[in-house]
Structure 1
Amino acid sequence: MPPASPGPILRRRRLGNELRRLREHAGLTGDQVIDRIGWASASKLSRLENGRSRPDPEDVDALLTIYGAADELRAELIGIAHEAGDMRGWMRKFPVMTEQQRAFAELEAGCAEISEYSPVLVPGLLQTPGYARHRILSAAKVAEEAGDPDPEDPETEVGARRSRQALLEHVTRYTAVLEETAFGRRAGPPEVLREQLVHLCELARLPNVELRLLLRDTQVGDWYVPPTAFSVYRFADPLDPETLAIESGFGDVMSTEVSTLNRYKVVFEWLCSSALSASDTISWLIEATGPLTGTAVESTVASGPATAPTQRRPGSGRLTTER
């Protein structure tokens, strides 16, 4: 089960932000600090402030002395430096984890709120083992044919994803906007989609989980089309920086840049406004899965859910036969 505390990468970012703030408050440039502390590498301070290197608590202590940090703040930041460097100890709290999923696991641990948009797939935190296995095996085939095979065992990858999913027991609020196209027949065999839809029905009833379905032909904003999947992570401590993850098929980008984050937050608000309400989404999922016994979904999958369940207009309780 994932730990309730933030992972080392988030700790590094928090520490870096604090060190930069203290340096600027002391009126010192990076070069001045390097000269005073006697470090040989001019980039060492930059890597610490940007959260790109594992901090040495002794180095952090030396910086705090130069900046004249108060005792209470010094003790807090030294503690954060120890947490930021304890990657191995933190990872032991997971039953299983792979290098590929580690970055997401670190972001998710300790989260107070997660907002996700996925245009063509069910997000990893919501996937059943069967659905996840098809995603992992199909991606591995691409890597194999490209001459760059994935060294991880597919079942280890599935286990790692399941380990991450325990987060939903701890996060205060999880909201996801799913595209209707994610449930088309290209995503997997009928029995896999049936299981996935039933699982989403169960998750949507959790008090801290909100799922919103965006129907295929629904307009977003002024004909805006989000180009890729993304997630926004918020943490209980306001000093831990909000983080954006932009997900693509073969690489992911993480950012704490405020201006970039704000744009994606606006997009997520537009998506939520255009999508079905949480209650109407549950109704859609129930109709797509039949009476939750798996008997009615095969015909739905065969033609695509857009043609089977009766749809509701966003924001209304009125049923419509529009597709």
Structure 2
Amino acid sequence: MPLPTSPVIRRVRLGAELRQLRRREGLTLEQVCDRLGWASTSKLSRIELGQSRPDLADVLDLLDVYQVPGPTRDALIVIARDAATSRGWWKALGEMGERQRTYAELEAGAARIVEYQPFLVPGLLQTPAYARLRVTAAALFDPEIDVDAEVRARTVRQEVLRRADPPRYTALLTATACDPGETPAEVWREQVRHLITMTGLRNVTLRLLPGAGAHGGLQPLTPYSCYAFPDPADPRTVMLEALTTDVRLATVLDVERYERVTEALLSAALSAEETVTALAGRIGD
């Protein structure tokens, strides 16, 4: 059975491979585009940066220019097809906003996901009612958000945790993320029950972080997610959540730093069993 792949990560990997091939041939962006008759270098630049879904015909033309031999060429064609895939459940992503689509593509191809969330329940664990409150709040500042579509899309994303070959998923939650705040009581109770139910899946683990002092004051300033993939050649990736545009990190230095922070937080967190007990207590509260 083929390994699941993440289109967004395959685009990054394909772009890096093509950039390396171009430099090996000693060609500039302008020279390659002139040979192919492309109007400007922006198209090639976006392909190399993994910022656009590649057209297979364009990739084949580039491989011809770089004189890529058979086995390497075949491997890159597979990566290009994965980068542009629209097969299977990807068709259900059509109504997703661009930001949520990026997360969905990362999640679908991941072997392991670790999320740190200091303020809210992560999207993969939200009930529809809780998700609607969060999306509605965001829509107050962004009128282009389609609340119904975003809530449906979040539900589609969550299917990744129940598929036949799911990623190993760990959520690191602070006490603030597990505080109802202004959330209506019934919505919050349903949400906490759902969190406890999700821990029944063999691939889902929740870990609750105690007060900041318990882990040396270590407190990342933003929510983040770490992704590792079945193919070790696909770059491990970290996504940082921001108000308007999320940041994707894929350099070894950046990723390893976040992985060290994650290990420190996991060492300080309550065990999975203690976390479930603490959540159950919050239903009564």
User: RMSD value over aligned CA atoms?
Assistant: 2.5
Q: Residue 118 of structure 2 corresponds to which residue in structure 1?
A: 119
Residue pairs, 1:41-60, within 5 angstroms: 41-60=40-59
Aligned-pair CA distance for 1:248? 2.3
Structure 1 residues 63-97: Cα deviation after superposition (integer angstroms, max 9, x where no partner): 22333322122123223324433459863145963
Aligned-pair CA distance for 1:107? 1.3
TM-score, structure 2 length as denominator? 0.87
Q: Distance in 2 between matches of 1:117 and 1:35?
A: 46
Amino acid at match of 1:213: L
Q: Residue 211 of structure 1 corresponds to which residue in structure 2?
A: 206
Provide structure 2 residue ranges, at least 5 long, that are not aligned to the other structure: none
Give the 3-state SS of the residue equivalent to 1:180 in structure 2: coil
2:99 and 2:246 in contact (8 A); partners too: no
1:95 and 1:163 in contact (8 A); partners too: no
Count residues in correspondence: 281
Q: Residue 169 of structure 2 corresponds to which residue in structure 1?
A: 174
Deviates more, 1:247-256 or 1:22-31: 22-31
Judged with a 3 Å threshold, the aligned counterparts in structure 2 of structure 1 residues 17 and 179 are, in CA distance, closer, same or farther, namely same
1:218 and 1:274 in contact (8 A); partners too: no
Deviates more, 1:121-130 or 1:39-48: 39-48
1:159 aligns with 2:158: no
1:259 aligns with 2:253: yes
Greater Cα radius of gyration, structure 1 or 2:
1
TM-score, structure 1 length as denominator? 0.78
Overall identity of the aligned pairs, in %: 48
Q: Distance in 2 between matches of 1:53 and 1:182?
A: 34
Aligned-pair CA distance for 1:187? 4.6
1:228 aligns with 2:222: yes
Deviates more, 1:253-262 or 1:109-118: 253-262
1:114 and 1:175 in contact (8 A); partners too: yes
2:6 and 2:110 in contact (8 A); partners too: no
Q: Distance in 1 between matches of 2:166 and 2:132?
A: 25
Give the 3-state SS of the residue equivalent to 2:192 in structure 1: helix
Q: Residue 23 of structure 1 corresponds to which residue in structure 2?
A: 22
Q: Distance in 2 between matches of 1:43 and 1:99?
A: 20
2:5 and 2:108 in contact (8 A); partners too: yes
Residue pairs, 1:1-323, within 5 angstroms: 5-26=4-25, 28-30=27-29, 33-34=32-33, 37=36, 39-86=38-85, 91-94=90-93, 97-141=96-140, 143=141, 148-152=142-146, 154-169=147-162, 170-221=165-216, 223-289=217-283, 297=284, 300=285
Aligned-pair CA distance for 1:45? 2.9
Aligned-pair CA distance for 1:234? 1.2
Q: Distance in 2 between matches of 1:211 and 1:269?
A: 14
